[in-house]
A and B are shown apart, each in its own frame.
Chain A
Amino acid sequence: MNVVVCVKQIPDPAVPGSLEADHTLNRSGKLILDESDSYGVEMALQLVDTAGGGEVTLVSMAPNNEVSGLRTALAMGAAKAILVSDPALVGSDALSTAKVLAKSIERAGGVDLVLTATESSDGYTGTVPAQVAELLGWPAVTFAKHVEIGDGKVKVQRQTEAGYDMVEAPLPAVVSVTAGVVEPRYPSFKGIMAAKNKPVDQVTASDLGLDASQVGWSGARQEITNVEQAPARQAGEKFEDDGTGAEKVVAFLEQLKVV
């Protein structure tokens, strides 16, 4: 059972984001493993373990040959990684990203299952998983909150508005997993040391057979016309609760006629 996990390396979400002059995201600081992808990594490790053979390969597209996020996932237990890094990829939108990831998955070869998060923490388009599946010509099940493998099929509890659907798809397939499907492990000291020597296959867009006009800014086909701060909402009244807080809330609700 060979599983690929698409992992995004992103600027630390705790640091407020900023834009470059050309309106692409500023990614100059150190990048970290998107926490949303740590669930996919853990899920993959557990599935391979249950299957009793095979390995977990990471695939990531990131600027400046960034590997720190990949090392975190390798330290959790993934066997190897493919890193796509190329100035031609700057400004890639979701579709360009999906093209790069799909080609990388083909490069990995012999893949039974691809896992992604439902959406990335910094881009949050949520379209990459099904785009990758369409490019590969595979079925996809998005928003998985429980995943099992058996008889050459993946069985998924897919989140819905009302609860969940039981969905089944034959392998190979793409599955996007929600936060909380599994509890991601912390890398052990041994894992961190081992990760330093795990293979990272560094490739460019042209190594993958992608033409620069298909990806990066030129692939995004949109023009940013304006960027501004969202208007802040005005704060109203604030009271220290002196035992009359609840009464103040009731009075407010009465005034609005909701009670």
Chain B
Amino acid sequence: MIGKVWVFAEADEDKVTTATLEMLTKAREVGETVEAIYAGQANAEAIATTVGAHGATKLYVIDPGDGLPGQVAAAGIAQLVAEQSPDAILFAQTYDGRDAIARLSVKLDKPVLTNGMSLSDEGGLAFGTAIFGGVTLVDAKFTDGAPALIAVRPKSFAAEPSGAGPAEVQNVGTPDAGRAAEAKVLDHHVEAQQGPKLEEATVVVSGGRGIGSADNYGPLVEELAKLLKGAWGASRAIVDAGWVPYALQVGQTGKTVKPKVYIALGISGATQHLVGMKNSDNIVAVNKDAEAPIFSVADLGIVGDVHKVVPQLIELLKAK
């Protein structure tokens, strides 16, 4: 085991993100002591309860003021590192997680290991990642002194509670982040989001260029997802085309999902898309090209036209 592992915790309002809980669960397995750091204005007690229930004994709370949380947090974490000497710090590969790990790496002059998908304590800290869009797996060992800075791809580990009580809260205040703190958040715009989150849904229905046009996304993809009480996603092709927002993108540069059922409609199955969904429990694909690579990962493949198969499917489900 390695000694002390820290996890950079993130929260959506007062709800700790699943990616954070996944990292805490893994940290318990490889580290003797697990502690969390949170930068933001959410209710610290609520965060401490959840991170505590997943193994963190302590929660350091940084107040980023009106700065960007990740950009400001790095200064606070660097200070804590000097005092507490952790062996490893895990960050989720998210917007704020990346900001924090990047600035911290410069402050500590340490390399960052990114896109982490596995972690073990065999003979020191070992780390696994995938390159070339997920087709080649690489294991690496960190050869520098502590702390190891690791960015983890969400959905790489399972999240399981340890059942422990709340973490002890320690307020760190607002660190002096220099000009990094000059990037100010003026306001938040929340785009209406319905239904379950992509990363948490039991069923995910995604659409690709094969659905034909932006207008077809609602009646085909969203409609089917809603009937299955699931979330809807997309390939990069239709995000880049402006048919749907980036938040829906599944794949290497988007989200990683692992639902019970993933339904791909008119998606070819490029490696960069597959890396984001191929660990789903079950995969269903509808594509008119029998040779489409998506079929190589599908448990059930329908070689057909989405404009015929999907409306029929929606009718059948509505009739239930």
Contacts and interface: CB of A to CB of B under 8 A. Distances in A.
Given A166-B185, A221-B142, A230 B134 contact: yes
Contact of B105 (A131, A141, A237, A241): A131
15 contacts: A94-B112, A125-B114, A126-B93, A131-B102, A133-B180, A139-B179, A162-B247, A168-B186, A224-B139, A225-B141, A232-B296, A235-B296, A236-B301, A239-B301, A259-B228
Nearest to A35: B240
Nearest to B245: A163
B138 A258 contact: no
The prevalent SS among residues of B at the interface is mixed
A interface bracket (residues with beta carbon within 8 Å of B): 35 or more
A80 B8 CA distance: 40
A176 B190 CA distance: 21
Contacts of B94: 161
A143 to B, nearest CB: 5
B253 A235 contact: no
Interface of B: 12, 68, 70-71, 74, 93-95, 98-99, 101-103, 105-107, 109-115, 126, 130-132, 134-144, 151, 178-191, 193, 202-203, 228, 239-240, 242, 246-247, 252-253, 260-261, 263, 278, 282-284, 286, 290, 295-305, 308-310, 312-313, 315-317, 320
A238 interface: yes
A258 B300 contact: no
Contacts of A167: 68, 183-186
Given A140-B180, A235-B296, A259-B317, A130 B290 contact: no
Chain A binding surface SS class? mixed
A169 B183 contact: yes
A249 B309 contact: yes
Given A95-B109, A95-B110, A252-B282, 13 more contacts: A118-B253, A125-B114, A127-B151, A140-B180, A173-B183, A221-B111, A222-B111, A225-B141, A226-B139, A233-B297, A237-B301, A241-B309, A249-B309
A230 B300 CA distance: 22
Given A127-B102, A259-B228, A141 B183 contact: yes
A121 B202 CA distance: 30
Nearest to A159: B246
Given A163-B188, A166-B185, A250-B313, A245 B302 contact: yes
A245 B228 contact: no
B297 A161 contact: no
B284 to A, nearest CB: 6
A247 interface: yes
Given A17-B132, A124-B115, A241-B309, A134 B228 contact: no
Given A169-B184, A235-B301, A131 B136 contact: no
